[in-house]
Amino acid sequence: MKILIAGATGFVGTYLIDYLLEKGYSINALSRSKQVSHDKNLVYFRWDIYQQYIETNAFENVDTIINLTGANIGEKRWTKERKSEIISSRIKSIDLLYQYVSENKFSINTFISSSAVGYYGAVTTDEMFKETAENGTDFLATVCKEWENTAMKFNDIGIRTVILRKGVMVGKDGGIVQKLAPLAKLGINVSLGSGKQFLPWIDIRDLVKLYELILSNSKINGIYNTVSSENITMNEFSKTLFKSYKMRTILPNAPAFIIRLLFGEMSVMFLEGSKVSNEKLKKTGFSFEFDTIEKSLLL
């Protein structure tokens, strides 16, 4: 099976390419700059979503498209311009892929796209959100809704479409751990606000394994919460992160008002969070290897 991956150079894309190559898949990877691969089963092709351009031969013999594109939502303060970039980087990339597939009638069987648990809104409640829950009303929830609606264009033309509403990525060399590790190693408390907000998450090693299951099981279709079974709080995550570095802290949590001053509207990402159900995902037969934060960070 040959797979086209858009957004191949990020944290998830890098892990996913290595994993799928090891499993014997052939991969065409889209990149904004020309890259050379030393693996015969990995070929890079140029694309530019703002110039509306993809090297057409990137689609040759491709069965499945995996979309991982989108500007990092936590990288910069949410100015008006940054908000526009966050939305457009997601929508325009899918629209461009759809345009090339539909206009050229490429024989694509499956489109796997990303979304996030931010779909349910930046709130902290005891409610367990299932895929059928209502869409939130804040900025991130709106982004996720538009993101998913755009991906569903592939479904409308008869292509199996799978959307993964992902939690926070946990991996020792990327995601949330990479951002917080420097502070934790200095004994600085990385828990923010009350610390009682939930942190839906998934280990990167489980995530790439899930992609392979989707590739091999054509019955998997639609939207899935992509989170571990363990619903931890920010305080619990922080405690386990310190444990992974054999560190402890006596410092208090960073007060919520300071986080709001520093990050503005983006602070809701750090200060709010609810429980998310993965029951639908587990019914596909998927089995988590790193289903507790201790297994993820300590093994």
Q: Provide block-wise average pLDDT over 10 residues at a time, the chain (299 residues).
A: 93 96 97 88 95 95 97 92 96 98 96 98 94 97 98 98 97 90 93 96 98 97 98 96 93 94 93 97 97 94
Residues 48, 156: Cα–Cα separation, whole Å: 25
Tokens encoding 29 = 């990877």
> What is the pLDDT at residue 126?
87
Angle at CA 24, nearest 5°, toward 281 and 46?
A: 90
**47 part of a folded domain:** yes
CB 60 within 8 A of CB 26: no
Please tell me whether residue 190 adopts helix, strand or coil conformation: coil
**259 part of a folded domain:** no
Largest Cα separation within the chain, whole Å, is: 61
CB 214 within 8 A of CB 162: yes
Residue 50: which CATH number?
3.40.50.720
Q: Which domain holds residue 31?
A: 2-168+201-227
CB 45 within 8 A of CB 55: yes
All residues at 6 or more sequence positions from 70 whose CB lies less than 8 Å from its CB, including other chains:
7, 86, 89, 90, 93, 114, 147
**184 part of a folded domain:** no
**254 part of a folded domain:** no
Residues 152, 99: Cα–Cα separation, whole Å: 13
**75 part of a folded domain:** yes
**287 part of a folded domain:** no
**196 part of a folded domain:** no
> What is the pLDDT at residue 34?
79
Q: The pTM is what?
A: 0.95
> What is the pLDDT at residue 172?
86
**Which residue, among 150, 144, 147, 6, has the nearest Cα to 69 in the 3D structure?**
6
Tokens encoding 238 = 């922080």
Angle at CA 288, nearest 5°, toward 282 and 291?
A: 110
CB 259 within 8 A of CB 267: yes
Sort 1 into a burial class: Cβ within 10 Å, 0-12 / 13-18 / 19+: middle
**23 part of a folded domain:** yes
Give the chain's domain count: 1
Sort 216 into a burial class: Cβ within 10 Å, 0-12 / 13-18 / 19+: exposed
